[in-house]
């Protein structure tokens, strides 16, 4: 088990470097650069700046310089935000995204699990059809459509909630809902399917034959097996959640990591883009590792070796 975790942690390093390298290459291949905008600098000044950032060297030297900086955990300074290090920028904007993301997944889990379990117990009931139809809707409507609709109704229609920006609890409701919708829907459907399958299995019949009440059958015997699909989905879901915040932060004008990420790409702010990409890729790999470890806790048949 410990060996497994150690191996998986070690493999994150080359993976992250690969992701950073590909991103770096993509930025370089794309036409234009940070300095190519309508405001042209005098050639001497531009040459000076480029020398400062090492941009006058041949590309392979720049690449190795970049890699050696990344390995040391130092992404350098942002090109756009003068004198601010990439690490500081990430640190400053991460809490916004983390708050929205964590709340959204929590809401998605709570609503999705309860809806899925109830739908599976009352299969083919009105609740089952109703919740699954809603879930289908939630899956089909993209968050950049759902967000503005929620704003139209709850902020500009009935004036219950603020339409955008960071602030108190009320500012959180709409972005969290927008972000959570699709995961809520997916988790509800996964839970329902998983529970239906497990509750038909032989060991559930055994549990019933022992005289256990339907509640103990469900909670002691059913739920663990039924939730395994939800756990496997958590890995990709958390990754998607990070991507989702990019859109939601844009829609609700929240100064989170996603918003900064888009800005950095549009600004051709190479160090900042690379820093965020490296950070997010490591985060996703750590999430996946946590998911794999929790499998083993849920299902004793899974061995790590």
Partner 1 sequence: MDKNGSILSVNDLKTYFQTEDGMVKAVDGISFKLEKGETLGIVGESGSGKSVTNLSVMRLIPEPPGKIVGGEIIFDGVDVRKLSIDEVRKIRGRRIAMIFQDPMTSLNPFLKISTQLMEVTRLHLGHTKEQAYQHAIKMLKTVGIPDPESRINNYPHEFSGGMRQRVMIAMALSCDPELLIADEPTTALDVTIQAQILELIKDLKARMGTSVILITHDLGVVAGMTEKIIVMYAGKVFEQARTKELFASPANPYTKGLLKSVPDPAHEQGKELYQIPGLPPDVAHLPVGCPFQERCYRVEDICRREFPPFVQINEGHHSLCHFAKEVYAESNATTLEEQI
Q: Which stretch binds partner 1 (CB under 8 A): 57-65, 71-79, 202-210, 266-274?
A: 202-210
Q: Does 206 bind partner 1 (CB under 8 A)?
A: yes
122 binds partner 1 per the rule CB under 8 A:
no
Site string for partner 1, 270-299 (x = CB under 8 A): ----------------------------xx
CA distance 54 to 56: 6
Q: How many residues bind partner 1 (CB under 8 A)?
A: 22
104, 105, 108, 110: CA torsion to nearest 10:
-110
Beta-carbon contacts of 84 under 8 Å, excluding residues fewer than 6 positions away, are 77, 78
Compare residues 93 and 192 and give the one whose CB is closer to partner 1: 192
Q: How far is the CB of 122 from partner 1 (least distance, A)?
A: 12
By the rule CB under 8 A, 195 interacts with partner 1: no
Residue 85 touching partner 1 (CB under 8 A): no
Minimum CB distance to partner 1 smaller for 7 or for 210: 210
The interface mask with partner 1, positions 208-247, x = CB under 8 A, is xxxxxx--x---xx--xx----------------------
- Map tokens 């927008």 to a residue: 178
194 binds partner 1 (CB under 8 A): no
Residue 58 backbone zone (phi > 0: left; psi -120 to 50: alpha; other: beta)? beta
Interaction of residue 304 with partner 1, rule CB under 8 A: no
Residue 301 contacts partner 1 per CB under 8 A? yes
Of 64, 129, 160, 203, the residue at the interface with partner 1 (CB under 8 A) is 203
Minimal distance in Å, beta carbon 211 to partner 1? 4
Instruction: Give least dist CB 203 to partner 1, A.
Output: 4
Instruction: Return d(Cα 104, Cα 101) in angstroms, integer.
Output: 5
**Using an 8 Å Cβ cutoff, are 20 and 274 in contact?**
yes
Binding site for partner 1 (CB under 8 A): 200-203, 205-213, 216, 220-221, 224-225, 298-301
């Amino acid at each position: 088990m410990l060996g497994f975790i150690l191996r998986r942690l070690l493999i994150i390093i080359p993976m992250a470097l690969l992701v950073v390298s590909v991103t770096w290459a993509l930025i370089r291949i794309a036409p234009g650069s940070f300095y190519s905008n309508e405001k042209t600098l005098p050639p001497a000044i531009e040459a000076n700046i480029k020398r400062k950032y090492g941009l006058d060297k041949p590309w392979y030297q720049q690449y190795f310089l970049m890699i050696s900086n990344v390995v040391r955990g130092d992404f350098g300074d942002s090109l756009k935000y003068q004198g601010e290090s990439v690490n500081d920028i990430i640190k400053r904007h991460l809490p916004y995204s983390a708050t929205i993301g964590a709340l959204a997944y929590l809401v998605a889990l709570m609503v999705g699990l309860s809806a899925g379990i109830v739908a599976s117990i009352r299969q083919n009931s009105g609740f089952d059809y109703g919740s699954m139809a809603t879930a289908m809707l939630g899956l089909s409507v993209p968050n950049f459509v759902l967000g503005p609709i929620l704003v139209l109704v709850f902020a500009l229609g009935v004036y219950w909630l603020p339409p955008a920006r960071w602030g108190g609890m009320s500012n959180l409701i709409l972005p969290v809902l927008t972000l959570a919708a699709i995961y809520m829907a997916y988790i509800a459907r996964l839970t329902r399917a998983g529970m239906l399958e497990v509750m038909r299995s032989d060991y559930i019949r055994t549990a019933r034959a022992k005289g256990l009440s339907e509640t103990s059958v469900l909670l002691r015997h059913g739920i663990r097996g039924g939730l395994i699909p939800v756990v496997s989905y958590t890995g990709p879901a958390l990754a998607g959640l990070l991507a989702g915040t990019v859109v939601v932060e844009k829609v609700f004008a929240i100064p989170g990591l996603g918003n900064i990420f888009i800005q950095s790409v549009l600004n051709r702010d190479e160090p900042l883009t690379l820093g965020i990409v490296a950070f997010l890729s490591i985060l996703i790999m750590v999430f996946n590792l946590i998911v794999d470890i929790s499998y083993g806790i849920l299902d004793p048949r899974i061995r790590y070796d």
